[in-house]
Structure 1
């Protein structure tokens, strides 16, 4: 996946790139770089949030959609979006109307901020509305975000309850105890994947793998951070993460600009050199999803 929520200012700075032309250039370069390393890898456009067909048309006008194979959407109708959970099929149809590419739901979630019973309803209604409607669904998330870590968003506590909802999206509490919604998810785990970010040197990695195998989860979406690639022993951490996740059908999200490489010194900024991001993605594909040579079959005449 190329970036995360690029039409959300918490993840892509619109002041640096108001018309998404820099983002489109980044997508074009990255899609080409990934294809050059391994043509068999499915290239997913970073999940849009909000779900916006006009944004898709804008990117189409910039000519970058040929560099991806799948479009993705994110939705949180009981927490952040201003539409009903029952509108999910219509939201999918809005994007299908402006593309001939498959549409995946790469983040969908309902938090337990107000009541854990609401999250149980959210898992069950989401499964009812989306399983069979789209090729892939990823529930956000397995674990609650520990409050001491802080959420990746631009306005933090100024967002009021919207900010604090970030810490209640998991099926498992930050102390490691399961919520009632985990039982609801377990019933559909083979059909609904999980989206779980793993922070640099995340101590939850092994527990996550154990939980996902116990639940029967088949598909996982996570991330490899370009910014993290400049931390000490970054490749060692990436190797450990990807080895731990090797038994899952994994969609890896590439995102987060290193501060020293951005037009502005922030992880949401477009890069000064978008090819540097494309090169990072190509290196990660070469390392973790290289092209496998097709064996040559020799035909011997009788």
Structure 2
């Protein structure tokens, strides 16, 4: 079931939102407000989450507060990768969360945290243990990135790709499972922290790993998952067939679904990082996905699920 809808992924990261088009994130703030209102109209019971910040930046969150976004969402999310991409040390995790607590009273979700095996698989094992020590109990949601390594034949969704040097190639080594599905040393350690820790797993369009991923997550004791439904993918042939299959396969988990990625033909610039020409179209996509995969329950359905139907009907 869908428990939460996340509005965009790392909007303050130039790999996912174009700073030249929107240097003060004003266009993003307007789009986020439209999306949050649309999600709430489709189902007010779905938790609305502001897409995970990367870098963790209180000044960005203050801008979102000024644009009214924090009045419309139920939680804010942060992403942190101090052993791979961030310019701070892993022991600073509590301080980084506190920086955001100083800006908002909303719940803070760590919706992506991980360690690559780019240099050595033992680094990921140590990093997972230390991350759990530092974050567990400090965040309502902790979602480890990720279950699978990114296949080497696929491209990572970044703005400058190979020009980013080793930063780009680290994207391919973030999994607890190697590309061939074999376990890395950190997999057994991760299982010690479920169900308190969940996973992030992005599924590509018609991803061949979907069924195996579901089996692995159940084996590991995972109960909640973050994934995405791509606005850009929604224009592909048979997109709804794939979305239906993906969401049906994940129905046994509490799913945070991330809505993001601009279709090239709908952006101000033809790129997935671009602000859309018509932000209402992104909001409409969010609304349609919630209506399809997390429809508002009728009063009778709500009463039945809460066990109150008998007393109310008499």
CA distance in 1, matches of 2:14, 2:143: 22
Q: Aligned residue for 2:41? A: 36
1:86 counterpart = 2:91: yes
Q: Which has the higher strand share?
A: 2
- TM-superposed deviation, 1:299: 6.2
> Can you list the C-alpha shifts for 1:179-203, whole angstroms capped at 9, x where unaligned?
0000110111211000000000000
Where do residues 51-66 of structure 1 align in structure 2 (5 Å cutoff)? 51-66=56-71
1:130 counterpart = 2:135: yes
CA distance in 2, matches of 1:104, 1:229: 27
1:27 counterpart = 2:32: yes
- TM-superposed deviation, 1:139: 0.2
1:143 counterpart = 2:148: yes
2:124 to 111, 119, 125: 119
**Structure 1 vs Structure 2 CA RMSD:** 1.0
Q: Aligned residue for 2:306? A: none
CA distance in 2, matches of 1:238, 1:251: 14
> Can you list the C-alpha shifts for 1:143-164, whole angstroms capped at 9, x where unaligned?
0001110111111111111111
Return the TM-score normalized by structure 1: 0.98
1:185 counterpart = 2:186: no
1:278 counterpart = 2:280: no
* Residue aligned with 1:251, SS: strand
Q: Aligned residue for 1:268? A: 273
Over 3 Å counting, the alpha-carbon distance change for 1:281 and 1:118 in structure 2 is same
Question: Does the CA-based 8 Å contact 2:90-2:131 persist in structure 1?
Answer: yes
Q: Structure 2: give runs of 5+ residues left out of the alignment.
A: 1-5, 304-308
Where do residues 1-302 of structure 1 align in structure 2 (5 Å cutoff)? 1-295=6-300, 298=312
Aligned length in residues: 300
CA distance in 1, matches of 2:121, 2:183: 11
